[in-house]
Every structure is written in C-alpha cells, then in structure tokens.
Homo-oligomer: A and B are copies of this chain.
C-alpha cells in the first residue's frame, strides 16, 4: 500500500536539486543555490550526498579565476527520481 520512499530523495532540498537538474544539461552551484533558495552550507552538504548516492556528478573547474562547481544528474538519478515520484503517488492519490 505505502511503498517505502527513497530517503535520499525524501529531503526537501535534495528533491528540489534533482527536480531542477532533470531536463537540464547541467547547473552550477550558484544557480542551484538561487533557484532552491538554499543556504550555501546546506547545499554543499546535500550535493555531496547526492553525489555519493551516484545521483549526480560534480565537476570542479574555474570560470576565469573563480572556482566553479557544475552538477549534472546521472541516469541513476533520473531513475531514482522517477521511482520516487511513482511511490509518492501511493501516498497522495488518496
């Protein structure tokens, strides 16, 4: 009846990040921070968890002289998201 929800995605910020990255080639730290209205600290931590779960990849580089952190969703991440949504529906469809 109530299928277990993936705890990695059952977090407001991590879900927002994954949701944002879906359909996007990639997005950088600052962009994600602005869209999700997260604090930098929290975002840093949660991106790490998503990466460790294999749901996103994080690439570090420089834009000019400044550090640039670029994130992309992986196939595994897309699959997990779709699964999460499917399971969520067992909760929200009355």
Task: Determine whether the beta carbon of A22 is less than 8 Å from that of B85.
Answer: no
Task: Determine whether the beta carbon of B35 is less than 8 Å from that of A2.
Answer: yes
How many protomers of this protein does the assembly include? Answer: 2
Task: Determine whether the beta carbon of A22 is less than 8 Å from that of B88.
Answer: no
The docked-state distance in angstroms from the alpha carbon of A94 to that of B16 is 10
In A27-74, the 8 Å CB interface with B consists of 35-37
Could you give 13 example pairs across A and B, Cβ below 8 Å? A1-B36, A2-B12, A2-B20, A4-B12, A5-B12, A10-B12, A15-B91, A16-B91, A19-B91, A22-B94, A23-B94, A85-B92, A88-B92
Of A4, A36, A85, A91, most buried by chain B (CB within 10 Å of CB) is A91
The docked-state distance in angstroms from the alpha carbon of A62 to that of B79 is 47
In A71-94, the 8 Å CB interface with B consists of 85, 88, 91-92, 94
